[in-house]
């Protein structure tokens, strides 16, 4: 193994940790923060808690809440205008992946100029970003610890993947208590996103011992605790475990990157207003079947992490059982089964496949992928 880097923010984890946000910003030298969130998180009461905490420590603030699922480039532009017009010098993101990705994207264009599309790809950010504190309110995206921001280019109708160590927040706050306000559908969808993050990071060509330990624990935690977390809003053992799984999967994929599941999911999300985790849930078993021959021992490991007794099995049998385990988990928590049920058609496949092939996440997929391969995977999932 060659030299590896592992990037991570300062992490504050635990029930009540959201109350550390004001002090965290002051430690970073913040004078006026832009609080970035969405309407759902505002209605759940978490933004008011952040505002109250900022007031307690005497920290001035402005707000931006106009963010949609699969956030758009024009939302980033509007947030940048609010940041600059209010002379903000730092950013707090509060929410799931959409809010946190927009918060990061605002930080990019507010300090580096231009349009967010200028930064698509790897390491395109040239100037330092303002201090960033990210508060996750879903066990899902991992954006609070990652070097990713994913934004829809509305002209090209594609999700842009922006990857840079500059995007790793200064401080990540993970308060499992924020998960109690999520409904069953969102808990299931975001939890399956965690599983996709962890599995793709574990089989990535950039995986290494530093990322493996995070991915392996995340897979085990999701396998044990996603069902009870979906079943009950008040099961704090399950919420704590899923919050940790999301955090660890985020650390794993931030450093090992992802694969074909996310490349294909980004292509869909740029054209259709669908939940990212639901798309991943459909694609994951098909991509696992495709990738198996590239790293069978890793798929045997995944089976063991998911609670399968692999003693006496060869990697092929264990890998098949791991894939079936993913399918059963998705079914039991009510995830959608087919892309056609979500409105996708055969006519969409070619255009989406071309976009997916160009996605940065495809670079670290363990098996070489052609355009025809992606089209076939989409057809299998349709």
Are 287 and 320 members of one domain? yes
* Best-predicted range by mean pLDDT (266-270, 284-288, 312-316): 284-288
Reply yes or no on whether the pLDDT at 227 is more than 90.
Answer: yes
The whole model's pTM is what?
0.96
CATH code for position 148: 3.40.50.1970
223 and 150 together in one domain: no
Last residue of a domain, which of 118, 144, 178? 178
pLDDT tens across 325-357, in order? Answer: 999 999 999 999 999 999 999 999 999 999 999
**Strand ordering across the sheet containing 132-136:** 10-13, 171-174, 132-136, 90-95, 32-36, 60-64
In a domain, 194, yes or no: yes
- Cβ-based neighbour number of residue 216 at 10 Å: 19
What are the angstrom distances between the C-alpha of 30 and each of 88, 89, 131, 338? Answer: 9, 6, 7, 46
The pairing of beta strand 121-122 with beta strand 158-163: parallel
349, 375: one domain: yes
Is residue 170 a part of any domain in this protein?
A: yes
Please give the full DSSP string across 133-144, using - where no structure is assigned: EEEE-SSS--TT
Same-domain check for residues 168 and 188: no
Q: How many domains does the chain have?
A: 2
Q: Domain of residue 31: give its range.
A: 10-178
In the predicted structure, residue 2 carries a pLDDT above the cut 90: no
The residue assigned the tokens 């999301």 is 246
For residue 59, tell me if it sits in a domain.
Answer: yes
User: Residue 31: how many CB atoms within 10 A of its CB?
Assistant: 13
């Amino acid at each position: 193994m060659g030299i590896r880097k592992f990037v991570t923010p300062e992490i504050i984890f635990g029930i009540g940790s959201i109350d550390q946000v004001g002090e965290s910003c002051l430690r970073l030298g913040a004078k006026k923060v832009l609080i970035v969130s969405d309407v759902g998180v505002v209605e759940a009461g978490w933004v008011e808690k952040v505002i109250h905490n900022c007031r307690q420590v005497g920290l001035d603030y402005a707000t931006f809440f106009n963010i949609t699922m699969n956030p758009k480039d024009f939302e980033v532009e509007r947030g940048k205008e609010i940041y600059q017009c209010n002379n903000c010098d730092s950013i707090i993101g509060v929410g799931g992946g959409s809010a946190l990705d927009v918060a990061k994207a605002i930080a990019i264009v507010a300090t580096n100029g231009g349009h967010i599309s200028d930064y698509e790809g790897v390491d395109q950010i040239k100037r330092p970003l303002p201090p960033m504190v990210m508060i996750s309110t879903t066990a899902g995206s991992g954006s609070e610890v990652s070097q990713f921001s994913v934004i829809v280019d509305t002209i090209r109708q594609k999700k842009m993947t922006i990857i840079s160590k500059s995007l790793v927040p200064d401080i990540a706050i993970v308060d499992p208590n924020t998960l109690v306000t999520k409904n069953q559908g969102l808990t299931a969808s975001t939890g399956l996103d965690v599983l996709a993050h962890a599995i793709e990071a574990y089989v990535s060509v950039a995986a290494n011992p530093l990322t493996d330990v995070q991915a392996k624990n995340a897979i085990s935690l999701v396998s044990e605790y996603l069902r009870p977390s979906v079943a009950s809003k008040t099961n704090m053992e399950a919420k704590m475990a899923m919050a940790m799984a999301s955090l660890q999967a985020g650390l794993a994929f931030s450093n090992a990157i992802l694969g074909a599941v996310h490349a294909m999911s980004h292509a869909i999300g740029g054209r259709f207003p669908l939940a990212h985790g639901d798309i991943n849930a459909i694609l994951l078993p098909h991509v696992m079947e495709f990738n198996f021959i590239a790293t069978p021992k890793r798929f045997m490991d995944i089976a063991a992490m998911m609670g399968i007794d692999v003693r006496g099995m060869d990697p092929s049998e264990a890998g098949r059982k791991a894939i079936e385990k993913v399918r059963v988990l998705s079914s039991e928590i009510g995830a959608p089964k087919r892309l056609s049920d979500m409105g996708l058609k055969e006519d969409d496949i070619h255009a989406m496949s071309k976009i997916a092939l160009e996605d940065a996440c495809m670079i670290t997929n363990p098996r070489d992928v052609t355009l025809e391969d992606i089209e076939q995977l989409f057809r299998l999932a349709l």
